[in-house]
Amino acid sequence: MEEKFKKTAVVTGGSRGIGRAICLELAKEGANLVINYAGNLQAAEEAKKSCEELGAEVLLVQGDVSSFDDCKALFDAAAERFGRVDILVNNAGITRDNLILRMSGEDFDKVIDVNLKGTWNCLKLASKIMVKQRYGRIVNITSVVGVIGNAGQTNYAASKAGVIGMTKSLARELASRGITVNAVAPGYIATDMTAGLSDEIRETVKNAIPLQRLGDAGDVAALVAFLASDKAGYITGQVIHVDGGLAM
């Protein structure tokens, strides 16, 4: 990527799975990384090392995205180390699946707090920096489940559908400031999050996917890196699926 200056990217939940693959892809494109993670320091340090091997400067910041104070500390640390934030990828997310009759209110609230409020926290803090810069690329990771729903995921589907609404609203708010805001909706991607699926469910899922396989984290990361680049400057407010054709 021929960029005029070294970009700084903040990736929430950048230590494992899809977030880690996004960090590696952005590092390959020449960005410096601020990698946020929740608690697994070993995974975070491994991701940091891999990005550094690709030439990136990397800052690791532990924090729970559902806490506004933790997010404030994340963006303060990014600004202090790199002086700017060009790219934000809201990737941190969790599941607490259950059928509605068995799902607790706590599990509903927890998923909304991390996936939806956590995204909003980072959008608010990044917007302040990006508006001043009059430049920014924001990519929110939603899910196919936020579009088509899934039994056992009322909490997760609500959070991810909410992310889509926020993406479109903020795209309209920030367009005049040179900031794009898009959402990427992965389908079933092979990560720790989907590692617990039974063989039976895995087979059912594969049969429902036109491309007949689960995706790789790299499949998602390639699109995110494009949306985060200068080449994607005329794309905003979109929800782009990376799901092997599952939702169409």
- When asked if residue 78 is in the footprint of ligand NAP (CB under 6 A), the reply is no
Burial class (CB in 10 A: 0-12, 13-18, 19+), 145: buried
Output 16 or 48, the one with its CB closest to ligand NAP.
Answer: 16
Distance CA 233, CA 130 (A): 14
H or E element, residue 75? helix 68-82
DSSP 214: P
Please report whether residue 94 would count as binding ligand NAP according to CB under 6 A: yes
Of the pair 87, 135, the CB lying nearest ligand NAP is at: 87
Give the one residue of 92, 126, 181, 209 binding ligand NAP; rule: CB under 6 A: 92
Q: Does 38 bind ligand NAP (CB under 6 A)?
A: yes
Q: In terms of Cα–Cα distance, which of 59, 178, 78, 190 is closest to 125?
A: 78
- Whichever of 48 and 135 has its CB closer to ligand NAP, that residue is 48
88 three-class SS: strand
Least distance CB 29 / ligand NAP (angstroms): 19
- Does residue 153 bind ligand NAP (CB under 6 A)? no
Q: Is 16 in the site for ligand NAP (CB under 6 A)?
A: yes
By CB under 6 A, residue 188 contacts ligand NAP: yes
Provide the strand spans (E) within 12-133. 32-37, 58-62, 87-90
- Token pair recorded at residue 126: 């990044």
156 is a catalytic site residue: yes
Q: Which residues are catalytic?
A: 156
Binding residues (CB under 6 A) for ligand NAP: these are 12-13, 15-19, 36-40, 43, 64-66, 91-94, 114, 141, 143, 186, 188-189, 191-194
